[in-house]
Structure 1
Amino acid sequence: MSSPYLPQPARILEVIDETPNIKTFVLEPEKKFEFSPGQFLELTAFGVGEAPFAISSPPHGERLEMTVMRTFDPSLGTYGRVTSALHRMGAGEVLGIRGPYGNSYPVKESEGKDILIVGGGIGLSTLRSYLLTLLHEREKYGRILLFYGARTPADLVFKREYEEWKRRGAEVHLSVDVGTPGWTGNVGVVTTLFDRVKLDFRRELAVVCGPPIMIRFTVERLLQVGYEPPNIYVSLERKMRCGIGKCGHCNIEKYYVCKDGPIFSFEKLKGIPEWW
């Protein structure tokens, strides 16, 4: 019996620079597999280590894409070993993958509803898989709105795709914490977009992913404007490590994020201190 920790090889077909510290890797796995939007893989830089990352491509696509941010620990003043090793890799090289793991975004539950997708920074990578899944069968859904924020315009990921998303029926609203010369969009944290766009929360479902503090305040804002906890979904992928519920790193009271999530309805999380 093969070990659940054993990765399979995947060749890098292309590397796309998204921002100065975020890259998208287009992969060709040795054995193809099915997945759902919101699930994740463990990526291995051989000889260095592995880490979990959400799949950023949709299940119906021909390309398997993983979007990776080179992490930095300000308390230590060092960059992450695995993400740095992955960022040094190029087309033709081979990395390891195992998975997919975790549950998925509520695609079926989204049918017939207006969908609000709220993303911050690298959090848009997993949300992109969900968004493109919705746009693939656009007629099944009501309004599809994307609120996306980043620190600066240079930190926005997938910039080359926004106009295509709009053409296919998504309403894309952007915000940055700090504007730069030439930026004409909203300036402020992503929740300030709630003041600029009219929402009918009675028939909407909201999906959120981003830095923990952004998720916390976005959920608070969603509750304030009238969203019900069962209609708010969050991705807590940043808490994960081993991916199969063994290391305990992602434990939140009775839940293991990698096995019970990473996608949770807020109905399950309300009442848990510091769930984010």
Structure 2
Amino acid sequence: MKKIENPLGKQTNYPLEYNPNLLFPLERKYLKNNKIFKGFDIWNAYEISWLNKTGKPEIAIGRFQIPANSKYIIESKSLKIYLNSLNQKKIDNHSDLTNLICNDLSSSTNSDVLVNIIMPQDFKKIYIQELDGLCIDNLQIKTDIYNPDPNLLENEKTNKTKITETLMSRLLKSNCPITMQPDWASIQIRYRGFKINHESILKYIISYRNHAEYHENCIEKIFLDIYEQCKPDYLSVYGKYTRRGGIDINPWRSTDLEEYNPVRNLFRSTRQ
């Protein structure tokens, strides 16, 4: 079957038959920098349905983990369309569904994707979890910069002691590069090194307000700018984006996956 064009921003006819070629891969923008950072993109898909072997509909929530060094990301509208192509497909059990989606996403991203299918009896275990860290949103600042400017970032000039600190903000906003629809997110920044000026990092986060780029690229740019401007010994940046179209995307980038992991225990083995 022929691969589709990027469906974003276009009128779409939703398929009645399963078709993995509906997935539209996009090359990662900052792939050349993946020796600096490691991490994952965590996708939560809340609208998954298929038919069991008797023809009765089943529903589930899907959680997908795509490594940050994958050659491609998936355009989110194409993922929604692909998942909808499963609606009339007969699948014996959720383990078969897990393997099917895992194989399709791994093939499309050219990476090893982890898939966790959450059945209705486990929906009660899913809840919105607040990000750890000191919230910097109440700082009284003045700014008129709404496009990313790494020169806003600076370390404290008077504090030369190295610290470990976790900061968070709910004020990250960027925009879809095709439709310009707003993308809202909370962001957590954990670092070890010289103290970063809190006002400067809040201004920097706010500077994404008119920026148009995919979620993954925004978080990677934030990571790289902090890494270059503030030169921490260790850095972790985790973005939790608000759900749109039944899907949310949550990129995490870190210099060391073992020192601190905000997404630990989200996944079990794909084959379970």
Q: What TM-score do the two structures reach when normalised by structure 1?
A: 0.25
| Structure with larger RCO (C-alpha < 8 A, sep 6+) | 2
Bigger Rg, which one: 2
Q: Quick check: which one's helix share is greater?
A: 1
* TM-score normalised according to structure 2 size: 0.25
